[in-house]
A = this chain, B = another copy of it.
Amino acid sequence: MEPYIHKIHYYETDKMGITHHSNYVRFMEEARTDYLEKQGYGYTKFESEGITSPVLAVECHYHRSTTFDDEICITVAVEQYTGVKVTFRYTMTDEKSDKPLFTGKTEHCFIDKNGSPVIVRKKYPLLDALLKSLAAKDGEPV
């Protein structure tokens, strides 16, 4: 699958001259959205089924700084899926030099329109099958 590319915008830099560290959490969201879309289970599908997927935890490891105009290459994988929660893993490298920039994780649950937790394993067989198969391919054992 094609990795997601994010080109750093001027407004994403800070006084230190580098991309502000908070923005990488946003880049992970961009890449995750794109990844699920490409898997055939994009946001519109989530929405039409009345579920959203709030973030429970985030982990960021910054290896090299970036700055305006740099192109970041982001790959996404499903690290773990329990039937109720899913963890994504992200690897960012510099598009030109291929040097490692960042690794991170985000953990999510699923909730319905009333904010109640959704057991994907029981209620959403298609999403369940997809996440299971992605975790089997790239993930770590639960």
- Residues of chain A touching chain B, judged by Cβ–Cβ distance below 8 Å, are 9-11, 13-18, 20-23, 25-26, 29-30, 33, 42-44, 52, 54-62, 65, 67-69
Contact = CB atoms under 8 A, between A and B. Distances in A.
A10 B22 CA distance: 11
B67 A15 contact: yes
Nearest to A20: B11
Contacts of A68: 15, 43
Contacts of A58: 21, 25, 58-60
How many copies make up the complex?
4
Main secondary structure of the interface of A (DSSP, over half): mixed
10 contacts: A9-B33, A15-B15, A15-B17, A21-B25, A22-B29, A25-B58, A54-B62, A56-B61, A57-B62, A59-B59
Contacts of A67: 15
Most buried by B among A60, A61, A69: A60
